[in-house]
Homo-oligomer: A and B are copies of this chain.
């Protein structure tokens, strides 16, 4: 029996073991989905804290129900470890590590590199390896493959199979989660594609196969570049509309009545999270190798980078109308999560506006019902204060930075001297409400 048939038979008999590398908002839900389907899963992470929590059945990801995690851990379907040598027990290794940008907005490939090195050192023959992290096209073939082959001494296509299948996790999305979001996958060989589908389809309802890893890599970049470009476009139009005395929010509501050829995006103080502000720059990076300048991403990135500064100017302008300077004024921010109803402040524009405002001498404080403590990019630490009548009254200006559903706009409006609303939360504005 050849190696592919052997592995497929193991999968058919539910005897395969899946290793998931990286137990964050992508890896842990995927691990839980496999375990729920009755597949034995080993989670790998360098963080002893995360590993201990999982092994205790304690959940730390908003999109997973606590009881489900506890259940699959109790049934010994899911266990976590920091010991990467256990990769040798796995028939599939799925990489869900971060792919951030460095300080110069260049791809930081160190997490993928480290995962590939561990895989190369530890995996057995007949293993399927898949990357889920967003990255530039050609990563799987040109970056991962050489590392794994060198570290393992094994040969792709005979001893192991490599694929790319991007995560599409949208934290907080109530309709679409890991299982019911169709998954794109491209492998380096047709054998790899066949094996990958057999593995993934236990955790995911629909697998959309494409002809190569680089196609799948480009798919993910296209999805997020589409969002970056459209958010940047509407942000730029919002800034112009402000100058032209046009309410951009009313414009968008009206444009939405067009029943074809339009999708609404909304302006905001900047782009946050772990995908949209980062992924397109992975493509910009590799494009340079092909002597190609991506002007749309470049322009979008420029707007994106400037937005928090423009928002600071909005705050300063509002205070100025009240004959107050930023320097010494009490400035209260409502919401530091990058999007509503989640507890994630990564890349949140609110933090950057807070930094700029504090840097200019503003007395900055914040409230976020989901995030009790934050540290800004410049290293300032803040603790959430309560959303009380007294705290609102005490502020010279209240800045609405995240539209959490908990925010009672009537209450906020009633007790605030001055409001800068960057999320169109206050529909009926007043004299003391300034909007993006």
Contacts and interface: CB of A to CB of B under 8 A. Distances in A.
B137 A254 contact: no
A91 B424 CA distance: 39
A237 B262 contact: no
Contacts of A254: 184, 208, 210, 215-216, 219
Contact of A230 (B218, B226, B244): B226
A137 B246 contact: yes
A176 B239 contact: no
Nearest to A210: B254
B299 A223 contact: no
Contact of A299 (B216, B250, B252, B299): B299
A287 interface: yes
Contact of A240 (B239, B257, B262, B292): B292
Contacts of A232: 296
Given A244-B137, A296-B233, A255 B223 contact: yes
A377 interface: no
A179 B103 CA distance: 54
Interface residues of A, number: 66
A327 interface: no
Interface in A294-310: 294-296, 298-300, 302-303
A250 B211 CA distance: 8
Given A181-B258, A250-B211, A296-B300, A222 B245 contact: no
Given A215-B254, A244-B137, A294-B240, A262 B299 contact: no
Nearest to A173: B260
Contacts of A219: 251, 254-255
A261 interface: yes
A229 interface: yes
A59 interface: no
28 contacts: A138-B244, A168-B258, A176-B259, A181-B258, A181-B259, A182-B258, A184-B254, A184-B257, A211-B247, A211-B250, A212-B246, A214-B245, A215-B254, A219-B251, A222-B234, A222-B237, A222-B252, A222-B255, A223-B261, A229-B233, A229-B296, A232-B296, A233-B296, A236-B294, A240-B294, A243-B290, A296-B296, A296-B299
4 smallest beta-carbon distances between A and B, as pairs: A182-B257, A295-B299, A299-B299, A219-B254
Interface of A: 137-138, 168, 170, 173, 175-176, 181-182, 184, 206, 208, 210-212, 214-216, 218-219, 222-223, 225-227, 229-230, 232-234, 236-237, 239-241, 243-248, 250-252, 254-255, 257-263, 283, 286-287, 290, 292, 294-296, 298-300, 302-303
